[in-house]
Structure 1
Amino acid sequence: MVKAYVHDDKDSVDAREAHDTGIPVSLERLEKLGVIYKYLKTQEEVEQLAKERQYKNQDTVNIQLSTFNNDEKLFNDKLSIFYEEHLHEDEEIRYCLEGTGYFDIRDSQNNEWLRCKVDPGDLLIVPAGIYHRFALDTSNYIKALRLFKDEPKWEAINKSDSADKSNIRIEYLNSIV
């Protein structure tokens, strides 16, 4: 089961650290924000969910230093991009196969960051239009299955790029009222 809690907002500390305030976040709180969590033991369960939700495509992403030819600068630059507060026009669906990572979800009701630690078997569905970010943990490794409704795409709209005014953000906020 995913471990979810309020993030401590200590930006001076490495994003890969736990940042755990000790304040737990329930699955119900995440659901009110449109975030869906499932623990799936097998690939067959993942395929069944994909069929039910009409996900047509998938790929696997492997994030570790060796993926970036052991170039630490390139690796850290990519991690910085993942950690910038952003949203997407499509759902972000991730199933953790190996390793560990953190999805931080911005609670639009009170502006808190909610941190979800994902381990193998954890699947998160992050709705379109919600602010979020991603960080590895200190092991610096995750292998995840990415599921897509249509053609695979991953375009982030950073908050700093006026994402608040995007149609998808406005639609998202209206959906959780």
Structure 2
Amino acid sequence: MVLAWDYVNDGSDPLSPHKPEPMRYVDDNELRERTGVVTRKLNADNYEEELNKICQKRGYSGSDVLEMHPDSEQDYNEKCEKYFTEHLHPDEEIRLWVDGKGYFDVRDASDNWIRMQVEKGDLLILPPGIYHRFSPKAFGQTAFKRIFTAEPVWVGFPRPADSHPARLEWLNMASQKFQGIQVV
């Protein structure tokens, strides 16, 4: 299970945990009902067979691996800033963490953040049109496999993108609590 909680915006550093008091985790079912995000834990040291089944079932064919490490990349800070800018994608996308950790935030239908602490073995399936952001900065380095329906192309639309067709479809699915979302 991916660790997730409602993000408490207290005005402090956005890369601190922002956990509620008392602590209450958002479970996988609630996360899916509020955001359409599907999660799964895979064996990150031996994931290929299981991941291939998921990709075949969902019609995915392209992938790449994004590595972010503060000591080995000149553009680490630029990448962190780029991916922490709130944005959406027009297509469903899968992310599988193969190393390190990070904070992955998604907006729910009430426009509130849900923060997930992702780590090695965590798989996220993001519906098209969901606003989200990511940063490994609180933990240092990370590496994750990005899986696409076609060739690996990262197309992000920064907020506001409320009139984007994918966003309108996401809002429609949210009004139905994401019933019919395909679970892995």
Same topology, TM > 0.5: yes
1:119-138 paired onto structure 2 within 5 Å: 119-138=119-138
Q: For residue 81 of structure 2, what is the aligned residue in structure 1?
A: 80
Distance 1:158 1:128 in 2: 13
Residue 56 of structure 1 is aligned with which of 44, 58, 61? 61
Residue 164 of structure 1 is aligned with which of 147, 156, 162? 162
Q: 1:139 to 1:30 in 2, by over 3 A?
A: same
After superposing on structure 2, the runs of 4+ consecutive aligned residues of structure 1 that deviate more than 4 Å are: none
Q: What's the TM-score once normalised by structure 2's chain length?
A: 0.85
Distance 1:98 1:11 in 2: 30
Amino acid at match of 2:69: Q
Q: Does 1:115 align with 2:120?
A: no
Shift of 1:18: 1.8
Shift of 1:75: 2.1
Higher helix share: 1
2:93, 2:149 within 8 Å by CA — same for their partners in 1?
no
Amino acid at match of 2:107: R
Shift of 1:176: 2.1
1:18, 1:137 within 8 Å by CA — same for their partners in 2?
no
Distance 1:48 1:66 in 2: 35
Unaligned runs of 5+ in 2: 176-184
Q: How many residues align?
A: 169
Higher strand share: 1
Shift of 1:137: 4.7
Unaligned runs of 5+ in 1: none
Q: For residue 6 of structure 1, what is the aligned residue in structure 2?
A: 6
Amino acid at match of 1:167: P
Distance 1:11 1:51 in 2: 43
2:105, 2:114 within 8 Å by CA — same for their partners in 1?
yes
Q: What's the TM-score once normalised by structure 1's chain length?
A: 0.88
Distance 2:17 2:135 in 1: 10
